[in-house]
Every structure is written in structure tokens, then in C-alpha cells.
Structure 1
Amino acid sequence: MAAELESFHEMPRVITFLSSLLQRVAESNDVNRRFEPHKISVFHGLTRPTISIQSYLERIFKYANCSPSCFIVAYVYLDRFAQRQPLLPINSHNIHRLLITSVMVAAKFMDDMYYNNAYYAKIGGISIREMNFLEVDFLFGLSFHLNVTPISFHTYSSNLQREMILLQPPLNFGRSLKLHYCFSEDESTHQKQLAV
């Protein structure tokens, strides 16, 4: 019991913030978008996983040994993916596969040392073949737009913290995740538009 409490306190706040936000996004899309046309993809599971989003993220953090910044970058990737793939809303049937894939891609892009796809497949509880398919689909879904500027990173991080601190109700997710801000491709102008 003491070891569990100790490991809980070592968990970065970003895991708690991100899991809470993604839980609300998935539940909202489960209800509000259930009658809209959806595209079935490799991310879609036939049933909802029994492990919670919080526990799944904690598992990824514990075993992947990637930097906490990878979770912010994964969050940026999830937002980009949702915006570029409006027929694949984030929901309870795909969030776990999207998470393991986005964190793996973020670790490969951000960290100097990272594990291979077979290791991430074990962490995620999926086969290596499925992990490979998920990675390819995710990269194409992002149009290989992986770079995250310091401005984007700071803004997503700040807004994630602000959302959790203020306990704001979930945003209207419309046709994409639209968690916080949509950035123009030229972020050097420092312009941002609220995505509502």
C-alpha cells in the first residue's frame, strides 16, 4: 500500500490532467456523436477496454520511460489528428490505441532514447503487427506534421493546466477534438484562434 502511494505521488500531474480531459472528450463524443457517420479504422476496438484512461496512461508512463514532455506532445498530436480526421472522433472505443500510438510517436520524435514498436505493443497490450499498423495510420493521419514549436508546446501545456485548475466544462467538440487552440501553420506570427 505504501509503495502504491509513493508511486502515485511520483506520477507527473500531466498524466492526471490529460487522462481527465481525454476521459471527458471520449464520453462526450460517445454521447453526442453516436448517430453521426464514423469511419472504422485500425484504432477502433469492438469493445471498450476495461482499463481506465488514467490507469492506461500511468502504465505507459511507468514502462515507456519517456520524458513527461512526450505526453504534452502526444496531446498536441491527438488534437491535430482529430482536426485532420473528422470522421474518426476520439471516443471510448479508440482512445487507448490512439494514446499508445501518440506517445510512441512523440517519444521517437522527442527523446534521444526510446523503445521499439515491439516494446510499446507489450505496454499497450496489443500485437506488434497492430502497433505497426497504428503507427503508419497515425502518421498519415497527421500528414507527418510532427514538429511542435515551443510556442505550441507552452500553449497546450498551459491550457491543459488551466482547464484542470478551473474545472471548466468540456468544450463543444464539433467535428474535431478542438481542445484549445488551432494554430496557423505559421506560428511565428503568434496568432491563435479559439476553436469552438
Structure 2
Amino acid sequence: MAELECPTVMSKLISYLSSLLQRVAESNDLNPRFHPQKISAFHGLTRPTISIQTYLERIFKYANCSPSCYVVAYVYLDRFTQQQPALSVNSFNVHRLLITSVMVAAKFMDDMYYNNAYYAKVGGISTTEMNFLEVDFLFGLGFQLNVNPTTFHTYCSYLQKEMFLLQPPPNIEELSSSSYKSRSTKLLHYEDDQQQQQQEVVAV
């Protein structure tokens, strides 16, 4: 959607997605009973010190992918959590899930994109780990990467509605419960010089 090109809209989108993921992660940290916790390749040994919003802003600054990629990344995260119910989004894995979903979306959506080594540097992880996370994410999605126009516009419209109404993210318990999965399925299935960019990136 052309509206996504607006810097103000993108700022709101980054802020809303960050807030949403923060609430989901904190909910699952405190209430693991909602999902049997599963340790995966995305799970870090400690919680990253960088906030989700700062991390997503960093990705937005350096990845240079199209605005549509962030909507598609959201679609992928939604699909991933639905297909991997034992792997809930929490503070130990949300950062890795974010960088991986955006990278996969950029590769699928954009004609030009950076390689895995660059995304690894943006994400503050090794290239080997980035490669492994990509494969794990793709298998977790069942390689269902296609997002048809109807699905994209439904997700996009939902996000825009939430952002412009300035509503807070859905209730924490709703996000963590199976009822949220049913709701999300219904509502949501709704080159600057690359070398210069690489020099600017400082690992987290």
C-alpha cells in the first residue's frame, strides 16, 4: 500500500508492532502455562539488553527493505506461531524471530536485498547462526511464504486501523490464548551504497 511509504505511518507501524510483540513476550514469560515451552534455535541463553522497539528500529534503519516487508514479516510471525504452538514468542526468542522474519520477507518480496551476512550484522548474531535460523524458520512455516493480495491487504488494513485509532495492543491473555489464534486467523489472514551501510552497522 502506498500509505506505508509515509515516514509517519512507518514510525507508527514500528511502534505498534514493537508494543504488540513486547506484550506477547512479557505475557509468555510470566504465563508459560498458555503454551508448553519449547527451547528452539531462536532461544537465547539470556534476554537481550536491547528493547524490541530499538531492535526493530535498527532493522528498519539498516535493512533498507520495502515497507511491505514489515507487514509480510508480521504475516510470517503469525503463521509461524500458529504452526509451532509449542514455541511461544518470549523475551528469549523474539529478537531472533524478528530479524529472521524480516530477512525472509525481504528475500521474498524485494528485487534487491542484502545477504545473510549483512542481516546477521544488523541483528548482532553470527552469519552461521543467521543461516541456521533462516532454515529453521522456513521449515517452521512449512515453506508457506506466499502472501496473496487479499491476505496482505487484510493484515495491512487491520494494522492501519489499530495504529490510527491509537488503540493499545489486544489484551495480554487474549494474545497468549488459543482464542487469539482463532481471532488472528480471522482478522489478520488479513541501493544506497551497500559498503557504506555495512560500515555503519555496529553489532548489538
What TM-score, normalized by structure 2, do the two folds share?
A: 0.80
- Helix, strand or coil: the match of 1:93? coil
* CA 1:66–1:25: 2 relative to 1, 3 Å: same
2:81–2:89 CA contact under 8 A, matched in 1? yes
**Following the alignment from structure 2 to structure 1, what is the Cα–Cα distance between the partners of residues 8 and 187?**
36
- 2:168 matched residue in structure 1: 167
Deviation at 1:75, TM superposition (A): 0.4
* CA 1:177–1:92: 2 relative to 1, 3 Å: farther
- Helix, strand or coil: the match of 1:92? coil
- 1:189 matched residue in structure 2: none
- 1:78 matched residue in structure 2: 77
**Following the alignment from structure 1 to structure 2, what is the Cα–Cα distance between the partners of residues 175 and 115?**
36
Deviation at 1:28, TM superposition (A): 1.2
**1:161-185, Cα deviation, whole Å (9 max, x unpaired):** 3334222542242259738531xxx
**Following the alignment from structure 1 to structure 2, what is the Cα–Cα distance between the partners of residues 176 and 110?**
30
**1:141-166, Cα deviation, whole Å (9 max, x unpaired):** 00000011111111112222333422
- 1:187 matched residue in structure 2: none
- Helix, strand or coil: the match of 1:26? helix
**Following the alignment from structure 2 to structure 1, what is the Cα–Cα distance between the partners of residues 110 and 188?**
30
User: Percent identity between the aligned chains?
Assistant: 72
1:43–1:97 CA contact under 8 A, matched in 2? yes
Deviation at 1:134, TM superposition (A): 0.2
Unaligned runs of 5+ in 2: 1-6, 190-204
* CA 1:85–1:142: 2 relative to 1, 3 Å: same
- 1:181 matched residue in structure 2: 184
**1:84-111, Cα deviation, whole Å (9 max, x unpaired):** 0011000110000000000000000000
- 1:142 matched residue in structure 2: 141
* CA 1:156–1:131: 2 relative to 1, 3 Å: same
Deviation at 1:11, TM superposition (A): 5.2
Establish whether residue 133 from structure 1 lines up as the match of residue 132 from structure 2: yes
* CA 1:177–1:86: 2 relative to 1, 3 Å: farther
Deviates more, 1:149-158 or 1:32-41: 32-41
1:29–1:90 CA contact under 8 A, matched in 2? yes
1:80–1:142 CA contact under 8 A, matched in 2? yes
* CA 1:179–1:32: 2 relative to 1, 3 Å: farther
CA-atom RMSD in angstroms? 2.4
- 2:104 matched residue in structure 1: 105
Return the letter of the residue paired with 1:92: S
- Helix, strand or coil: the match of 2:49? coil
Return the letter of the residue paired with 2:176: F
* CA 1:194–1:113: 2 relative to 1, 3 Å: closer
**1:117-146, Cα deviation, whole Å (9 max, x unpaired):** 000000000000000000000000000000
| Structure 1 residue ranges, 4+ long, deviating more than 6 angstroms after superposition | none
- 2:52 matched residue in structure 1: 53
